[in-house]
Every structure is written in C-alpha cells, then in structure tokens.
A = this chain, B = another copy of it.
Amino acid sequence: MSSPHPDPAVGDLSEGAVLRRILEQLDGSRAEVGPGDDAAVLAAPDGRVVATVDTLVHGPDFRLAWSSGFDLGWKAAAVNLADVAAMGARPTALLVALAMPDATRLSFVEQIAAGLRAACDALAPGCGVEGGDLTVSDTLTLAVTALGSLDGRAPVLRSGARPGDVVAVAGELGRAARGLGILFDRFRDASGAPIAVDPSVLGADEAADLAAQLRPAPPLALGPLAAGAGATAMMDVSDGLVLDASRMAEASGVTLHIDAAVLGADSARALAGGEDHALLATFPGTPAEGFRAIGRVEERGEHAVLVDGRPHDGRGGWDPYQDWDARTG
C-alpha cells in the first residue's frame, strides 16, 4: 500500500476535500450564512451594498515564478478591497472564484487562501471570504468579488471633483512599478523567462518595492475616513496616477493639476506606474488625515490632467502579455 502524497494535485482530490483545506485557512465566517450553502447571506446595515469584481489571470497579471500562492491571494484581495474603500465604504466580505489546472498542488491552494485571509486581516479587519467557487481551468484565474458597507454615508464617486478642491493621495505611488521593473530586469533567464526571486540580492528599498508589487498594502481604512471628512471624489490608483486622474477629471468635467515636486525623487514612476492601489481623492479644503496634497482642481481646460502645467502622456504600468509565453508561464 502506498501512503497518500504529502502534497497532492487538486485534480487527484474531490472538490469537497480541497474546499475543506481552503476553509481551514479562512478563520471561520462572520456572516448570517457563510460558505457551504447555495449562497452566502451578509449584513448590509444601511440597506445598501457596495460591490465590485476584479480578476487576476496567469500570464497577463502574474507569473508563477515570481508570485507565491500567498502573494496571489493577498493581491487578489487587496485590489478588490481597494475598490470598495475608494467608494468610501468598509469592506465586509469577499467571494472568490478560483479556476485552476488539475495539476495545481494543494499546498499552493492553501497558500492562496492564507493570502486572502492575511490581506483582509491587514487591510480591512472584519472582512473575510464568505463564499466561492472552485473550477478546473487550463489557466489559473482568481476572480474576487468584494462587498462593502457605506454605513450610512453617501458613496464618493469619481465625478464629484470641483474647481477649487485640493487633489490628495493616501498611500505610495510608484513603488509597485519599481517592483515590476526589478522583476523584469533582474529575475529572468537569458531567454527572457521568469525565474525565482532571490531576496538575498535585494536591498531594503528594493525589497519594499517588490513587496508593493506582489503584496500591495494601501491604507484602505482611510477610504471611509476620507468620505466622512467630506471627500468630493475618490478612486483607487490602479493604472497609474495620470491615467486614473484623467478618468476622474473626465467624469467630473474638470482639469486636475498635479505638482510633480511633491511626488518624490522618482516622480516619473509615481506619475505613470500602476498597481499601487493608493487612494486618489479631492477635498474642498484641507485633505483628511493620512492624505497628502499633490495638486488642485481647476475649471476644465484643454487637457484632463496637467503635470506642472504641461500635458503628460501617462503611460506606464504592467503591459499585459509583455514577454508572456504560455509555455514557460
């Protein structure tokens, strides 16, 4: 008789067995009905629910040589929690649709679950995974739905910025893009295929840049605080400051003026780099605590965004399929 494999492939286990191991990582349910029935039943205390979905796909969004299962779970949670916080809401629950090849190791799936839970604990205490779905797929895919509560506040939209408002940011800008640069520049082999990160060759700042890319930790509790402090518009910066600011400017019918001098030494990446998931907001007066002023809102001019008075093309961030090879992954 052979003993069971210590780390079996999920394709060799029942869905129920995989699910049990995932649930062990998730620290129980806080919901009226949690995982295990046809659907979850969650509190929506003010009679409304904030809801968003975002997907991480192997290839366009991550490489397995660079991201651990924990990293993937963390990031999939963080990017969705950021969207809820950017409405001025408090994240209350995640639903996770996980599609993965049969050859995926059980330990990897457990890491994903541990990363989901750790990101909730760190970024949105009280929020947890309350439902989900497991499927077989040729392509590892995490589609996460995040729900949240406005607790009686009005949602803070992209469209509320008004001339005279201060433009402000909470969280770092440019670090995630620097982390991406480290991966592409230093952790690929001669053929361009990604190779495992060797943390011993990184300085402290570089390690922080890499962590910002793989496990972003924006200050999401400031989203509801900004809403309470009168933020007129808010969104999360996922595609780079200039590009996302231009979306806010278009939605609001204004021009956002950004002062590059306050963006730090690497203002190029702060302006163009994506995936930091910082909170961009506008305030009619002094920004809420935790936000720093980076510019001002003016009447709509020719351009949606001006940086030091000049247009900026705003390109940057992760290019889907840059050097992607389905074979090497």
CA gap between A87 and B96 in the complex, in Å: 19
Using known A-B contacts A60-B137, A136-B57, A136-B60, determine if residue A40 contacts B32 with beta carbons closer than 8 Å. no
Q: State whether B97 touches A39 (Cβ < 8 A).
A: no
User: In whole Å, how far is A115's beta carbon from the nearest beta carbon of chain B?
Assistant: 18
Q: Can you list, as one digit per residue, whether each of A307-323 has a CB less than 8 Å from chain B (1) or not (0)? A: 00000000000001100
**Is A207 an interface residue, CB under 8 A from the partner?**
no
Let me know if A49 and B49 touch, CB within 8 A. Answer: yes
- The answer to whether A145 and B99 touch (CB under 8 A), given A59-B137, A60-B136, A131-B52, is no
CB-based contact A32/B133 at 8 Å: no
Give the complex CA separation of A145 and B159 in angstroms.
26
Q: Are A53 and B133 in contact (CB under 8 A)?
A: yes
Kindly supply a per-residue 1/0 record for chain A positions 36-63, scoring 1 wherever the CB is within 8 Å of any chain B CB and 0 otherwise: 1111111111111111111101011100
A135 at the interface (CB under 8 A from B): yes
Task: Tell me if A77 is interfacial: C-beta within 8 Å of chain B.
Answer: no
CB-CB contacts below 8 Å: A291-329 with B? 320-321, 326
Q: In the complex, what distance in Å separates the CA atom of A320 from the CA atom of B137?
A: 10
Select which of B46, B57, B97 is within 8 A of A54 by beta carbon.
B97
Q: Which of A99, A146, A148, A155 has the most CB of B within 10 A?
A: A99
Interface contact A138-B326, CB-CB below 8 Å: yes
Q: At the interface, yes or no: A212 with Cβ under 8 Å from chain B?
A: no
A93 interfacial contact with B, CB 8 Å: yes
| A89–B136 CA distance with the chains assembled, in angstroms | 28
CB-CB < 8 A to A41: which residues of B? 48-51, 87, 150, 155
Task: Known A138-B138, A141-B139, A326-B138; judge A95-B53 contact (CB<8 A).
Answer: yes
A147 within 8 A of B: yes
Are A138's CB and B135's CB within 8 A?
A: no
Partner of A33, one of B47, B93, B155: B155
Residue A168 lies at the interface, judged by CB distance under 8 Å to chain B: no
Number of A residues with CB within 8 Å of any CB on chain B: 65
Q: Is A236 an interface residue (CB 8 A)?
A: yes
Tell me, in angstroms, the Cα distance from A73 to B53 when the chains sit together. 17
With the chains together, A281 CA to B3 CA distance in Å? 41
A133 engages B96 (CB within 8 Å): no
- Interface contact B39-A52, CB-CB below 8 Å: yes
The interface residues of chain B lying within 8 Å CB-to-CB of A42 are 48-51
Given A42-B48, A135-B55, A145-B51, are A37 and B157 neighbors across the interface (CB < 8 Å)?
Answer: yes
Option from B82, B93, B102, B137 in Cβ contact (under 8 Å) with A139: B137
A235 contacts B by Cβ under 8 Å: yes
Q: Are A157 and B49 in contact (CB under 8 A)?
A: no
Q: C-beta contact mask, A58-88 vs B, less than 8 Å → 1, else 0?
A: 0111000000000000000000001110110
A158 within 8 A of B: yes
> Which A residues contact B (CB, under 8 angstroms)?
32-33, 36-55, 57, 59-61, 82-84, 86-87, 89, 93, 95-97, 99, 102, 130-133, 135-139, 141, 143, 145-148, 150, 155, 157-159, 234-236, 251, 320-321, 326
